Amino acid sequence: MILDTNDIQKILPHRYPFLMVDAIVEMERLKRIVGIKNVTINEYFFAGHFPGQPVMPGVLIVEAMAQTGGFLLLQEIPERESKLLYFVAIDDARFRRPVVPGDQLRIEVDVVSWRTTFCKLAGKAMVGNELAAEATLMCKTVDRRA
């Protein structure tokens, strides 16, 4: 299965410059999802992080994990157009290698637990066969304000 940014934007509320998932390449309903983020020198954050030695901020790698997991979860939420997923906790975040322009992040997210309004996800971001980052993410479904 390959879903592109057009398909992703039908489910996720995020838009440029904050959409951090370019494609979905694997998905098992309510269990697991794999997304791709192509990291290019044109990313807005590289202008200041860091000039002359660009590195993708770790918080944005975690955000990419959350968006990938959010894509999986939002498909299961009735009336998702009126809902958002908010972070409530990030545990055990570890950054193992820098992510730089030209890298392709393979974002693997597994559902640890899911209740109607709360979920726990285990995320990993890989560059090739190397672990770049990992974290446990918790999020809550909230109503979107009109």
Catalytic site positions:
49
CA dihedral 17, 19, 25, 31 (to 10 degrees): 160
| CA 107 to chain CA mean position, Å | 7
Q: Let me know: does 76 contact 28? Beta carbons within 8 Å.
A: no
CA dihedral 123, 16, 86, 145 (to 10 degrees): -160
Please state, in angstroms and rounded to a whole number, the distance separating the CA atoms of residues 145 and 143.
Answer: 6
Candidates 84, 65, 46, 53; CA nearest to 125 is: 65
Structure tokens at 20: 């951090």
